Each structure stands twice: as C-alpha cells, then as structure tokens.
Structure 1
Amino acid sequence: MVEIDPADNTAPPAGGKRFAPLWEPPPAPTRGRPARVNRTQIVDAAVAIADERGLDAVSMRSVARALGVGTMTLYSHVPSRDHLIDAMIDRAYADFALPDPDLPWRTALETYARGYFSLLRSHSWLLTVNTWRMPLAPHVFDADEAAFRILVDTGLTANQVVETIGIVRQAVSGFARAAAAEIADERDQGTDYEAYWSAQTDFWENTFDPARYPTMTRLWTMGAFDDAATPFDLRIGALLDTIELLIERAGGSGTAVPSFDECVRMSGPDPAGCADVDTADA
C-alpha cells in the first residue's frame, strides 16, 4: 500500500512559480547546520524509486526513508510531491540522447525516436505521466526544441511540424508501453517472449483457420510476420516513409515558418509574437 503524506497533496503554486526552481534551484541555506541532503540527492532518490517500483511508490515519506532522513527534511528543498515529480521528469529528460542538429531530417528524426524510446525504456514510469501537462522544465524544453528543429525547415507548415512530432511520440510511446507490459508478463508468468510464442505451435496447427483469416494467411505466407516488430524493437520505417511523402507533397508550397530573426525583428524579443509575422514573402 502506497503511503501518502497530507502535505504531498498540497496544491502547487499558480503560474510560473511552480516551475521556477527547475530553472534556478534555490540556494542552499548559509546558516545553521549543514543540510544532510541536497535537492539533487532527493530528486535522484525519487527517480530511483520510480524506476524500480513505479511513480505511485514515490512519496515524500518513501524518498526520505531511502535517504535515511526525516520527511520534514525534504520540504526545505522540495515544497510538495507535485514539485518533486516535476523535478523527476526534468531529471529523467536529462538522459534523453538528442540528435545532432546537422543531421539530415530523416536520420535526425529516427535518432530522436530511438532516443525517446530508450528514455521511456529506462524510465518506464514516464509512460504514466500526463504528456498534456508536462512541466515547463529546461530538459523537457530541450527535447521539444530538438524535435521541432528537425522538421521546421522541411517545407511543412507550422501545424504539420507540431502534429507530426506528436504522431512520432505517440508511436514511440506505444512501442515502449508494449515493452513495459512484456517485461511485467515475463516477471509474473516466468516465460519470456520467445518461449511464449514457441509454446503456441498447437494452436497454429489445430485451431487457427486460414480460410477465416485469409488476409493474415497471405501475409504470413510472404513471411511478413517473421520480421515484425517485437515489444523490444522500434520499427518506424513505414512512418518515416509517410512523413517523407508528406514533405515531398508540401514541396515548399505551404506557408513557411519564419526564422527566429524574422520573429524578433517583426515582433520584438518575444518569440510568441511569431504568429504576427507576415509570411507571404517568406
């Protein structure tokens, strides 16, 4: 049973105050006895718990226990469980191996996808995080910037860039979720992926009816399932092919996304003003 501290459920501060410590962690106290733990140790301990037992196992009390300190010791560094989870996500995203900006878009996008898959495999608890409410955190922003940069100058519209990256992320998270489920089944059932399917020979020989499933039979005859992705593979070649066709069809005919310099020149230092730039001559 997960232990929950009442203070863990404290509503986070409104506005940017919730995320400010992710960008500029508060300085360590200069008075009194030296702190027994610091913010980095607290976040790392919480990530370790989540990696081993899932996000539900993380509470201020469980982290304090792992560090061998009292629960109240944590609150001088992390005000609540919500703040702690924000910091955990940002810490996990620091492990995201991002593509080189100079790579061709297709190579870069595949590198990004594989990096994301590796991230979700290493920190599978990220699959339980609401991706529509990700913390406004530097390493999360670094990953977003790297992803959008891959496609922003390919001729796709701004909306297509954002939507396409979203589709890639959803595809990758689906593979990662399948891998996590397979690991759980292997642990609970004591049978790995290969052994499970090898044990199903009797079904294919005596139960499966090819006439009822002619399409599957045709594909099987051609060996299509021999090379199909397993839960531990990331096969996104077909998706990349589709994106390539989308880019070719765009052919630069869409509304170009203005450069950063154009945004600054036309709208001042606030990049959000990019929407006001007239791109008719871009």
Structure 2
Amino acid sequence: MTVWDRPEPPTRPAPLDRARIVAAAIALADEGGLEAVSLRKVAARLDVGPMRLYGYISTKEELFDLMVDEVHAEILPEERPGDWREALRGHGHRARRAALRHEWLADLLGGRPSLGPNAFAVAEGTLAALDGLADLDTVMRAVETVSAYINGAIRREITNLRAERATGLSKLDWQRAHGPHVSRMLATGRFPAVAKAVYDGTEVEAETSFTTGLDWVLDAVAAKLTQPPE
C-alpha cells in the first residue's frame, strides 16, 4: 500500500498531518539539500517526538515521494494551454523554475514515476495535450523524449550552480582559472573542433540555452507527429 493509499492516524495532541510534515521536510531540503532531511530532523522542526511521524510516514523514501509530489503542484499550469507545443514548453519552463526553487528536486528526477495526485495531474495534462495527434506509442515516445531533455538540462544547470557555490568560483572565474590549461591543449592542434567551439562559439545564459534546446526538441517532436504512419 502506498503512502497515498494509507489513511492518516486519528488526531492527537499537538496537531500533526502529512501536509505539515512535508512542508517541514521541504523547508529543510531547501536549506540544506536532501542530506539535511531525516525523520528525526523533521520531527525536531515540528517540535514533536520522532515516533509521532511513523504514524504518517514509514520511511524517508516515502517522505521524498511526498515532497516530490508537493513540488509537482508548482508545475501544474494555471490554465489549459492553447496547443500541445505550448503545453510542453510551459511544462518545461515550470519544471525548471520549480527545480531552481528546490534544487534537491534535481536529485530525484528521472527515476521511477511519481505516483502522487499532483504528478498524475501533470502527466495527464501532458498526455492529453498530445492526444489524437498520433498513435499512442508515438505520443509516449514524444513525452519521454521531452522529459529526458528537461530532466537532463535541469540536472546540468543545478550541478553547475552547486559547483559554483562549492568552489566559490563563478563560471567566468572558473574559465579564467583554467584558461591557460585549455589554451595549451588547443595549441597542440589535436582538437580543432573544440578549438573552434571555444574561440568562435557564443556564450549564452542558462535560461536561453534551456529554451533553445527545448524548442529544438519540440521541433523534432512536431516532425514525428506529422509524419505519415509506415
């Protein structure tokens, strides 16, 4: 039985429910990452004994599931998108913004599907936006492809942000610190394609890079959706 199927215990002294537990866990994770979350620390944040939580949540993994589903509520659209492309583009940008607010989310993306009500609502909206545009298998592969791009791009951006904080070096500072080594490597002439990218490529902000990549993925999906069946 999943945590969503299991009823909460009766009300006891010192009001407590899963919503309060999840809110406290998210606050801890926002402050210190997933490693800052434990049932003992959540109980301390709520000023209750740790054993009180076991009536509501059996394991830390269940707590993580509830936290992910709570953040999925932030990814739901406020209104019905106009078409499938707008729906998937909006989903991508909302997911990115949610991950930037809750960086720990990047560590939990891409695993087994979340089974909470908000995650189901997000999946329903995404699949419904593509319903009828192609056969079901094509639609499923399209959603998987877009999700893989979104999750990968989010993880890369969050990883870079964490590296900046851990080293104290901004992206520009890091480039300057490693510039001499890169220059020596490129001067060997063994890496002409890399040299062209380094010297002639254009630097773009993370949001611009995310938007461009997402639009390219959606272009590929559009081509598949309009392709006649074999």
TM range, smaller chain: 0.7 to 0.9
Deviation string, structure 1 residues 89-147 (Cα, Å, up to 9, x no partner):
21121111437434222222211111122222222323333744334210010111111
Mapping 1:114-193, distance limit 5 Å: 114-129=93-108, 131-154=110-133, 156-193=134-171
- Measured in 1, the distance between the counterparts of 2:192 and 2:138 equals 37
- Measured in 2, the distance between the counterparts of 1:210 and 1:239 equals 35
The answer (yes or no) to whether the contact 1:101–1:150 under 8 Å persists in 2 is no
The one-letter code sitting in structure 1 at the alignment partner of 2:5 is: A
Deviation string, structure 1 residues 119-176 (Cα, Å, up to 9, x no partner):
222223233337443342100101111111222232x221121111111111111111
Deviates more, 1:185-194 or 1:97-106: 97-106
| 2:8 equivalent among 6, 22, 26 | 26
Q: Percent identity?
A: 25
- Measured in 1, the distance between the counterparts of 2:114 and 2:8 equals 18
Mapping 1:79-90, distance limit 5 Å: 79-90=58-69
Gaps of 5+ in 2: none
- Measured in 1, the distance between the counterparts of 2:142 and 2:194 equals 29
**Structure 1 position 45, deviation (Å):** 0.6
The answer (yes or no) to whether the contact 2:9–2:55 under 8 Å persists in 1 is no
The answer (yes or no) to whether the contact 1:120–1:173 under 8 Å persists in 2 is no
Per the normalisation by structure 1, the TM-score is 0.69
Structure 1 or 2, whichever has the larger Rg, is 1
Q: Counterpart of 2:46?
A: 67
- Measured in 2, the distance between the counterparts of 1:247 and 1:230 equals 28
The answer (yes or no) to whether the contact 2:8–2:17 under 8 Å persists in 1 is no
- Measured in 1, the distance between the counterparts of 2:182 and 2:39 equals 51
| 1:226 equivalent among 193, 202, 209 | 202
Mapping 1:240-279, distance limit 5 Å: 240-250=218-228, 253=229
Q: Does 1:46 align with 2:25?
A: yes
Question: Considering only aligned residues, what root-mean-square deviation do their CA atoms show, in Å?
Answer: 2.8
Q: Does 1:213 align with 2:213?
A: no
The one-letter code sitting in structure 2 at the alignment partner of 1:215 is: A
Per the normalisation by structure 2, the TM-score is 0.83
Gaps of 5+ in 1: 1-12, 255-282
Higher helix share: 2
The one-letter code sitting in structure 2 at the alignment partner of 1:95 is: E
